[in-house]
Structure 1
Amino acid sequence: MSDPAGYSYLSFLTDYGREDGFVAICHGQILERAPAVRVIDITHDVPPGDVRRGATVLAETAPELPPGVHVTVVDPGVGTERRSIAVRAGGHVLVGPDNGLLVWAAEALGGIEACHEIANPGLWRHPVSATFHGRDIYAPVGAWLAAGLPLSETGPELPSSELVRLPEPRHEVSGGLARGEVRAIDRFGNCQLSLLRDDLAGADTPPGSLRVHAPGGRWTVPFGHTFASVGAGEPVLLVDSAGYVALSENGGDAARSFGLSVGDAIDIEAATGGGDPSEGAAKADA
């Protein structure tokens, strides 16, 4: 696939927060080089250094955005020998560190079509700080790409097999049991699992009450369509807007109530005797 003449949109995702001027500084670098581009701030509240959370948010968000350049900076290895990369996938370009941050999004966009190391210092802001590559490398390169720079101008091509990849979330279905893990937790305390609705069907877990095995114990939880499928303050399993099964609490914080963190193993099976999502409260199993 050839490079487009440019992009109208550039998205920006970081762990910089909003208390300092880092985000505005990067906006300035982008607009200096691509003044016509529209910048979409995905979030700058990724927990500091949490590459997995950044990768998860980017993978869920990028396919919902217009074709564009996605500059993503969650980079605990800034200033080290880790590479910087620009990846083309599904009509989009992703720019950031080669630490696993971009791969899930590239796959969600249809797969990696081309990848180049960002190694052309002529595209960077100088002098380059050892601690602020978002300002000095990623924002400028993303802007030049949005303005129509061919991807090949960023540096040498890399085989996609050489890119750093994060461990894939646990995902197994067999013997009437769906085995997953907490994939992400949002600000409301909803626990998105690494399981899809079809995984529950494959594990012979029909809609109704399901038995949830987690590090803190075992519970019988209703399966519903909305948060309001159960009473206020009661837990429910449902399919979230990204298509994943989520453990939620109507008006509450499921992560806190169940003592869950990202990466915790979660197993789901049919509860003995089934159940009705309208019954509400989870039942702790002995």
Structure 2
Amino acid sequence: MPDLIAFLTDYGTRDGFAAVCHGVAATRAPSARVLDLTHDVPPQDVRHGSVVLARVARHLPPAVYVAVVDPGVGTTRRGLALRAGTSVLVGPDNGLLPPAADVLGGVSDAYALTNTTLWLPAVDRTFHGRDVFMPVGAFLAAGGALGEVGDQVAAGSLVRLPAPGRTRTATSLTCEVTYVDHYGNVQLAGDEDDLVVLRDWAAQGWVDIEVTGPGPARAGEPGEPGAPGGVRDRARVGRAFGDVPAGELLAYLDSDRRLALAVNEGSAAARLRVRGGAVITVAAPTEA
């Protein structure tokens, strides 16, 4: 089992929650390394966390991933440990883990965390990252067998997040916002094929942009909470931020090879007033 613990949460760094989990890892698996992937996932934003986890998993060596974005903590939702390729992912059964597992080769074994002897002696209903997930992750990173964490479950029983919405017609593409990054770049549920179509539509130099749904307000994510839909704009189609002048909106393919919107030296999320879950329609221009 890998001795690298790759750690992702929405805990932030102000309150010491992540540091406490580091302490548990150091106590239970003193020879293991802990790599902080991020603790800045917007609070309770499972989809955002799943995107980051899958993005990072493509580039890491074999690891024990401990991922905690867990608005259902203390409820009947399961804790899981999943074998995927040469790595293991530990966290809640809420859709956070499967996208990264898919990147790592798919789930080959899945276990519910029912072996309570591996947990901390006193389990708080609001801090399973400290009391359940990190102790199990540390057990595995210290050489423990995956089959000892609990009962085996069917891979098909895992909770998966709904596929983000995407509809393309002859003249428009309507996509859900799947992710907003630190810079305010807006990732959409579109791909390279969609960008090729946008380039055809942009014969006049731009495509029309309309926000048709605002998405939920989430603390810590760029954009304006509760902003209404109906924002209209135009974007040029390019390959890099410098393809457009400063302050101009760009449609491009991001480093995840997903369709995205950005403002050169600015924030597309703030300009369009959107967050994750918003709906954006990109269309062939209707006027010269």
TM-score range (shorter-chain normalised) is 0.7 to 0.9
1:150 and 2:145 correspond: yes
- Residues 31-50 of structure 1 correspond to what in structure 2 (within 5 A)? 31-50=26-45
1:268 and 2:268 correspond: no
Pick from 200, 205, 210 the counterpart of residue 207 of structure 2: 210
Matches of 2:174 and 2:192, distance apart in 1: 13
Identity among equivalent pairs (%): 47
Matches of 1:200 and 1:253, distance apart in 2: 20
- Residues 189-228 of structure 1 correspond to what in structure 2 (within 5 A)? 189-201=184-196, 205=200, 209-215=206-212, 216-228=230-242
Specify the alignment match of 2:73 in structure 1: 78
Specify the alignment match of 2:24 in structure 1: 29
The amino acid that maps onto 2:241 is: F
**5+ unaligned residues in a row in structure 1: which ranges?**
1-5, 273-284
Matches of 1:203 and 1:34, distance apart in 2: 51
The amino acid that maps onto 2:209 is: V
Structure 1 residue 10: Cα displacement: 1.0
The amino acid that maps onto 2:106 is: G
Matches of 1:146 and 1:271, distance apart in 2: 54
Specify the alignment match of 2:266 in structure 1: 252
Matches of 1:203 and 1:88, distance apart in 2: 39
- Residues 1-286 of structure 1 correspond to what in structure 2 (within 5 A)? 6-201=1-196, 205=200, 209-215=206-212, 216-271=230-285
Structure 1 residue 205: Cα displacement: 3.6
The amino acid that maps onto 1:33 is: R
1:82-139 CA deviation, whole Å, 9 max, x = no partner? 1100011122111001111111211222221111001101111111111111111100
Matches of 1:75 and 1:270, distance apart in 2: 40
1:22-81 CA deviation, whole Å, 9 max, x = no partner? 111111111212222211101111122111211121111112111101101111111111
In structure 2, relative to structure 1, the CA distance for the partners of 1:143 and 1:236 (3 Å cut) is: same
Matches of 1:206 and 1:8, distance apart in 2: 50
**Contact 1:11–1:39 (8 Å) recurs in 2:** yes
In structure 2, relative to structure 1, the CA distance for the partners of 1:226 and 1:200 (3 Å cut) is: closer
The amino acid that maps onto 2:244 is: V
Structure 1 residue 210: Cα displacement: 2.4
Matched residue SS, 1:32: helix
Specify the alignment match of 2:221 in structure 1: none
Q: TM-score, normalised by structure 1?
A: 0.88
Matches of 1:155 and 1:165, distance apart in 2: 21
**5+ unaligned residues in a row in structure 2: which ranges?**
213-229
Matched residue SS, 1:195: coil
Which segment is superposed worse, 218-227 or 208-217? 208-217
In the comparison of the two structures, how many residue pairs are matched? Answer: 269
Structure 1 residue 203: Cα displacement: 7.0
Q: TM-score, normalised by structure 2?
A: 0.87
